[in-house]
Structure 1
């Protein structure tokens, strides 16, 4: 009996799923007469069989109709493989050919996907005609080459847990033409030595995508020995983030036809000609540019709070910025920022390394949430922010910052998890400075006049009351500010996984959508027809109206902004959804840097089909 979790056990379940011994397949009274003639070819149409069919036995046409009709309960799903259809038709017409161990001789392609397989056992050796073995989306960590049939030409192990190639390369199938190891856990530099012509002399296609390979120079030196290699997939590896990655591979492997699912055209080879002889350009680092454009939809704070300067309340100023997270650690190089916690205000770029001009809230770190799968793991991230700007209907952030990432594995995990983009509001309360605390001179209280001596005539001089009020008003205009109050208006996650594939630019319009309380209803105002004619009464009416307006303004609180998932209603006031959008871009710079550092994808290397 096959061990649980092995390929043999999964194959037995596969046979039960096909139902090769059940009606209308296999041995039974429905085709007993045909099973007696083992010499009959299962693919030949029997002639004159209707007369020889005993009563109660199904005809071959009826059995095949039950297998092929989409409305039949025995029909296979439309996405089944051609081999599955062939096996069932053979089992219906000549079940003796698939009886017992003979079924292993008839299988040339075996596809066992997402069945929890953990072991490639020696039971596979019974498949003496097997040419294609697909074991994707399982839990295989080791593959022993001694358990693989020597007739294999295709071996697909995508989406498993393979982290070492030593056992696979001990005695690999000599005729193997395709090896698929994408989405596994291979990491360098010990694995590159197993990817040479000594182990895979006939390899035409190799998939190593989305592993953790980092040594581009060593990998290329080993792959260059595979003289028949025409298709190569390396996207998703940390080494694919290096700016010169594609150009170096194209120039180093002249027989390569397709790299990362993109055809290599002669024009591209000509552009990258000679790059293979310049290994000094292959630096183990990546360059990422973050750009933030317009911010639209911010609620106007003046619509909720309109306090005047004076002792009645503080002067409130607002500023807004956009923050985003970038991978923290040794991979983040910031030569232009000697102080990690210093906030930089200039939005222009002055150097190729991490831009010292961007606002860097380096003292704040956060942790990214892990993805749904085991990888990527949670990694800490550093928060960067655009310079704060006052409110406007449209705020042009004009932000551009270039990051140099040296930890390519950490950068890959960061791109898999995505970045967090937020809109932050900063509120500053400024209070009038008390005049008594600024000067020891106390104004005279006698009818608002102050006694002052004249130095020339030595006579007391009366200071008019209006000048005294003017001086007092100037003292009140001197304000003291409280520490800023920061609040997050909206947060969203931007997906960056496409930067690990063939894309080099992610452009997104982040739509936060925030909830703010609706404006309170207008207070009743005395109608004009109720006011009698006359200057004095007209003035009284205006005074009363102004008093009501001032009371309404004083009663209006500052807005409490909430995320769009909030359904709370405050003080009987309903919340309204306000769209808030931010233009966000992240670009992975490719070689040549001079043509792509300006954000123009048209200047990059593209094949004619892409253009």
Structure 2
């Protein structure tokens, strides 16, 4: 009921457009405004040429939008010159092209048959889900149904317009084997140009086998389909359709045909899977982490790595439950934050539930999922070259297309490890140094340890090895993250090569740097307070010796304060963090290259 109320018929939209032409109103049609031989001299009339100017003048209020049909402006001129001809049948028969775009049309009703001389019908960007061919004029030569809601071609291929030469079905949910069966020469004998771009065709060999029966086909658009991500595209298409002159808006040359000659005869080499290579190169612009380390802090080491998400192929046993499948898919997700993990899990859930392919019904279950991947870890330097290269083989071409359309997120992460001296028995032996200092500073008595023999001293030295360091659990934080669009790989590009600019990172913007700065500031205030109290006690006389230590601390505090301020002042001039990143699809450049790449895999 709601569907019927919300449906918009094509005839209703066309009638409204014709009414907006105002063929019977000023300055068109009959009226007192027309100057004729019988018009009284005192009547306010307009010359025909003046009336025609009102139709075409850019600033005229009687100039109407006529882009929906190239015949609309001419029809208005006829309404000025010979209005007596404009009866209903004449108007309908006058139109040869109609372009109704973005009007939410959902129903093509039989009123379209009134346009008995219609040759071109453009209905892009509407809500049409079914095309009744009996409602299409038999004179139609061009039919464009791009970006609608078509999900099947079975209804369109009955009682087709026999003269149809151009058909555009791009950006629709087409791609089933049943759709392929309706794209043959038996259904479209006169078809010269076909647009199937941005659909969901995955079976490359089956589709090309059907299209090869279109003997008149000269122009074909296939980019945006999942199978175009495979290495065999466009070579296999070029050799399979020798009658083509233009593929994906590019004219085919004789040299290109020669490169792929013979590839169609070796169809056993064609595999509908994609090979994508991800590379992470040099990273610049990360501030030196040692600038914010306190001298009294434990040993601190920093490492940096790049994480990114990518779709990959997984194979699991059918006996595994769903939880085990997801655990198998989480390859390196421990390098992501909670927010990133949630996003990845959502993508995995969507991909794994929608893109399932069963290769062997009894033993295995194959699917593709988006998971996290990481480079190796490097210590800080002004320019860190990760030289990370990873190739992913993906059988789920539909899932790969959706992934490329969405793009991926790349993240720079920092790993900090705190190391502390390990507790041992030797440390307890050395602890008496504290009371020794007390006795020494008290009455100047000789320490009992000093009275020991030289042999004992040597033994003590031997008992003091280099202290071992115990590492805390790594502390990881995300420095910056960036989204990288990959949609161009779907629309024909072979490689995306970008220098990602993640912006300048201020050292004090991190939580760790803020904590360090607060601690330094607190220490500076305490040292200044002690120094001030010491001055008040000592007066203007000679300063006691034991004040030298606080002075040194205060001096150190001033140095730290200067470092903090210098850090704040220079952070404004920091260069932005940049990452070299690229994704490249494998594409065969010739038939011989295809043999060289595939035969070793088959022999193994």
* C-alpha contact 1:340 1:360 (8 A) present in aligned 2: no
For 1:325, the equivalent position in structure 2 comes to: 309
Task: Return the offset for 1:134.
Answer: 0.2
For 1:57, the equivalent position in structure 2 comes to: 45
Counterpart selection for 1:396 from 385, 407, 410: 385
Describe the SS at the equivalent of 2:228.
Answer: helix
Q: What per-residue deviation string (whole Å, max 9, x for no partner) do you get for residues 62-92 of structure 1?
A: 1111121112223346967533322222233
Q: Distance in 1 between matches of 2:53 and 2:113?
A: 35
Moved more, 204-213 or 549-558: 549-558
For 1:172, the equivalent position in structure 2 comes to: 160
Describe the SS at the equivalent of 1:299.
Answer: coil
Q: What per-residue deviation string (whole Å, max 9, x for no partner) do you get for residues 341-378 of structure 1?
A: 7779xxxxxxxxxxxxxx9989985536999xxx9x99
Describe the SS at the equivalent of 2:261.
Answer: coil
Describe the SS at the equivalent of 1:31.
Answer: coil
For 1:490, the equivalent position in structure 2 comes to: 480
For 1:38, the equivalent position in structure 2 comes to: none
For 2:456, the equivalent position in structure 1 comes to: 463
Counterpart selection for 1:289 from 242, 257, 277: 277
* C-alpha contact 2:223 2:492 (8 A) present in aligned 1: yes
* C-alpha contact 2:344 2:371 (8 A) present in aligned 1: no
* C-alpha contact 2:304 2:414 (8 A) present in aligned 1: yes
- When the two structures are superposed, what TM-score results if normalisation uses the length of structure 2? 0.76
Q: Is 2:406 the counterpart of 1:414?
A: no
Task: Return the offset for 1:22.
Answer: 3.4
Unaligned runs of 5+ in 2: 317-326, 356-367, 437-446, 529-541, 595-604
Q: Is 2:479 the counterpart of 1:503?
A: no
Task: Return the offset for 1:543.
Answer: 6.5
Residues 1:87 and 1:448: Cα distance change in structure 2 (over 3 Å):
farther
Describe the SS at the equivalent of 2:126.
Answer: coil
**Match runs of 1:188-337 below 5 Å:** 188-305=176-293, 307-308=294-295, 312-328=296-312, 330=314
* C-alpha contact 1:247 1:275 (8 A) present in aligned 2: yes
Q: What per-residue deviation string (whole Å, max 9, x for no partner) do you get for residues 318-339 of structure 1?
A: 111112111255499xxxxx99
For 2:323, the equivalent position in structure 1 comes to: none
- The Cα RMSD (Å) is 4.3
* C-alpha contact 1:247 1:591 (8 A) present in aligned 2: yes
Q: Distance in 2 between matches of 1:100 and 1:107?
A: 12
For 2:320, the equivalent position in structure 1 comes to: none
Describe the SS at the equivalent of 2:71.
Answer: helix
* C-alpha contact 1:424 1:487 (8 A) present in aligned 2: yes
For 1:14, the equivalent position in structure 2 comes to: 17
User: Which gives a bigger RCO, structure 1 or 2 (Cα 8 Å, sep 6+)?
Assistant: 2
* C-alpha contact 1:243 1:593 (8 A) present in aligned 2: no
**Match runs of 1:96-175 below 5 Å:** 96-175=84-163
- When the two structures are superposed, what TM-score results if normalisation uses the length of structure 1? 0.75
**Match runs of 1:76-91 below 5 Å:** 76=64, 82-91=70-79
* C-alpha contact 1:342 1:361 (8 A) present in aligned 2: no
Q: Distance in 2 between matches of 1:55 and 1:132?
A: 44
Describe the SS at the equivalent of 1:30.
Answer: coil
Query: Higher helix proportion, which one?
Result: 2
Task: Return the offset for 1:235.
Answer: 0.6
Task: Return the offset for 1:53.
Answer: 9.0
For 1:383, the equivalent position in structure 2 comes to: 372
Q: Distance in 1 between matches of 2:155 and 2:187?
A: 12
* C-alpha contact 1:367 1:381 (8 A) present in aligned 2: no
- How many residue pairs get aligned? The number is 523
Task: Return the offset for 1:545.
Answer: 6.6
* C-alpha contact 1:320 1:389 (8 A) present in aligned 2: yes
For 1:31, the equivalent position in structure 2 comes to: 34
Q: Distance in 2 between matches of 1:218 and 1:54?
A: 77
* C-alpha contact 1:209 1:235 (8 A) present in aligned 2: yes
Moved more, 95-104 or 186-195: 95-104
Task: Return the offset for 1:267.
Answer: 0.1
Q: Distance in 1 between matches of 2:482 and 2:62?
A: 48
* C-alpha contact 1:361 1:384 (8 A) present in aligned 2: no
Q: Is 2:540 the counterpart of 1:548?
A: no
Unaligned runs of 5+ in 1: 34-48, 333-337, 345-358, 453-459, 527-535, 562-569, 598-611
